[in-house]
Amino acid sequence: MKRANFIFICADQLRYDALSATGNRVAHTSNIDRIGARGATFHGHLTPNQICSPSRATMATGLYPRHHGLWRNGVALDERLPNLWQALSRAGYVTMGVGKLHFQPLLAAAEREMPESLAYWAKPGSERWRGPYFGFDAVELVMGEANESTRAGHYAAWLRRNHPEVVDLYEPEASPASRAEDLKEVWKSAVPPELHYTSWIADRAVDFIKHQSNRPEPFGLFVSFPDPHHPFAPPRPYCDLFRPERMPRPTIRAGELERMPAYLAEGDDPKKDPYIASGEQPREQGFLLRTDDISAQTLAIAIAHTHGMVQMIDDAVGRLLEALAGTGVLEDTYVLFTSDHGELLGDHGLLRKGPPPYRQLLQVPLVLCGPGIRPGTSLGALTSHIDLFATVASLLGLPAPATDGIDLKPLIEGRATAVRDFLFAEYHPRRDACLYNQSVITKDWRFTRYPNEPAWGELFDLSRDPWEHWNLFSESEFSSQAHRLNSILDQGLPPQPLIPNEVLGAY
């Protein structure tokens, strides 16, 4: 009997509450919602790291970053580590990855021969390479977001070969409207939507589905959209779908940042590009911004543009579901949608992401449908990206190595209501060792410590303050709670500020 197919859809920097199915009153994500309606929606799903590469490596390996070694952006994942896509390939699946993978650093040196580096794509003939790569039989790469996507990768090569006139339309100078002066990365893209990388990714994924649906082998497909990661620059009509004045305002509690570790008094420069050029002085991962110097109007446009990017992804997801239905394989395919991490989007007076492990960054959407999953299943248990490898392997009947995660199949099937009492998260900084932090999250609490700066800490009562606006760490009446949670970290995640894996680039 032919095994079920599997499609893993990933967005970049999409927070849990970005979907209409997870309570967003502005969004119209009918296609992503449809996945959950056909199967299960997870309401307590977290990533163990709020930065792209570490989280993506966790999704592939089922390991915490300290165990898979990709502890920060700029480090490469070891191809010898077992991962989900290798397991699928070895079980006879035809595997393909389309879009942003981010298993290797963009600024790795040319002699490293890393296909996800800019240097690799400077070589003549590089566009002919298609894999194999990390268990994928073939890949079609998009590298970077917005105007960065035209520098390297299969999409950039395709665009320059077939539509060279569109390359410059990605630049903010080509915007059909004026660019925000107080936040450099907000503009309306002039790129035709059908030639935008989100559409290109959907085109490649649909072609793969149609080609593989009638073949005897099952298929595994990773579809990874670079958006809604900043810059906030969707093309028309998506940049105009949501009116800025109607966007929900960020949630900020007066005085909340004064109760947080002192580094949050500073932030990145909103007038600088949120990237690091080769040779530039390192800036902290995530390019965290305080919104003090950004006008309410500009921030509202950034939020509206984020919703526009999400809507464009939702339309692309609809195309994938239509392709599955049109080829007759929808009922025989598991479809999973999630994100690597979230986005602050003005909450707490902060933008983008960075060292603080706020809920807006760690909690991400997860919806999953497929054979045997009861439609409309709603799950509130604590689950994590570390669980995805074990769970997918179990659903597909594949052997899998031991991971840091738990097989969620009993939870999905209703044979369990919970799988754990707590989860860990860990952030390794790029620039300042003081920012290294570790967290333990339960249903009711989040505790974070800074081993290299013991005076800093974070404690949030999630039952009363679910989106973490009032740090209780310095209040003596909660010291016993902090001590209890600190002991859990001591036992399960002792401090390990140094990870033995070479830094190859900044990004």
Residues 387-413 pLDDT 10s: 999 999 999 999 989 999 999 999 999
pLDDT band at 506 (very low <50, low <70, confident <90, very high): low
* 127/129 Cα distance (integer angstroms): 5
**DSSP assigned state of 1:** -
From residue 372, alpha-carbon distances to 24, 39, 324 in Å are 28, 9, 17
Q: Which residues pair with 133 in a beta bridge?
A: 136
How far is the C-alpha of 485 from the C-alpha of 489, rounded, in Å? Answer: 7
* pLDDT over 60 (residue 507): no
Q: Is 421 helix (H, G, I), strand (E, B) or coil?
A: coil
Q: pLDDT value at position 280? A: 61
> Which residue has tokens 């035209």?
150
Mean pLDDT of the chain: 95
Quick one: pLDDT band at residue 275, thresholds 50, 70, 90? low
Quick one: pLDDT band at residue 53, thresholds 50, 70, 90? very high
CA distance 15 to 186: 19
| Nearest to 100, CA basis, from 58, 153, 170, 137 | 153
Instruction: Check residue 346 and give left, alpha or beta (phi > 0: left; psi -120 to 50: alpha).
Output: left
Number of H helices, E strands in the chain: 13, 16
What CATH code would you report for 58-421? 3.40.720.10
Give strand ranges (E) for 149-255.
Answer: 219-224
CA–CA separation, 1 and 506 (whole Å): 47
pLDDT of residue 177: 86
pLDDT band at 504 (very low <50, low <70, confident <90, very high): confident
Residue closest to 362 by CA, chosen among 432, 438, 416, 273: 438
What are the CB-based long-range contacts (under 8 Å, 24+) for 88-92? 88/6, 88/135, 88/220, 88/396, 88/398, 89/135, 89/136, 89/137, 89/220, 91/3, 91/396, 91/398, 91/399, 92/3, 92/217, 92/218
pLDDT band at 279; cut points 50, 70, 90: low
Distance CA 378, CA 370 (A): 15
Residue 268, judged by CB atoms within 10 A of its CB (0-12, 13-18, 19+), counts as middle
Torsion over CA of 66, 68, 74 and 76, rounded to 10 degrees? 160
What is residue 276's predicted lDDT score, i.e. its pLDDT?
58
pLDDT value at position 269? 67
Mean pLDDT on 27-38? 98
Among all chains, which residue has been given the structure tokens 């028309």? 236
Instruction: Determine how β-strand 333-339 pairs with β-strand 366-369.
Output: antiparallel
Mean pLDDT of the 106-121 span:
94
pLDDT value of residue 45:
98
Structure-token match 């040779």, residue found:
279
Residue with tokens 């949120």: 274
> Predicted confidence band at 147 (pLDDT cuts at 50, 70, 90)?
very high
Tokens of 376: 């409309």
Residue 274 has pLDDT above 70, yes or no: no
pLDDT recorded at residue 268: 67
pLDDT of amino acid 281: 64
CA distance 300 to 133: 40
Give percent above pLDDT 70 in the chain. 97
* Mean local confidence (pLDDT), 223-244: 97
Number of other residues whose CB lies within 10 A of the CB of residue 500:
7
Distance (Å, whole) CA 95 – CA 106: 23
pLDDT at 174 over 90: yes
SS percent in the chain: helix, strand, coil, step 5: 35, 15, 50
Confidence of residue 501 (pLDDT cuts 50, 70, 90): confident
- CA distance linking residue 31 with residue 456, whole number of Å: 42
Work out the average pLDDT over 62-79.
96
Q: What is the mean pLDDT of residues 267-296?
A: 77
Bridge pairing between strands 40-42 and 366-369? antiparallel
Does the structure show a pLDDT above 70 at 466?
yes
**pLDDT score recorded for residue 288:** 95
Range from 378-382, 427-431, 500-504 carrying the lowest mean pLDDT? 500-504
In the predicted model, is pLDDT for residue 379 greater than 70?
yes
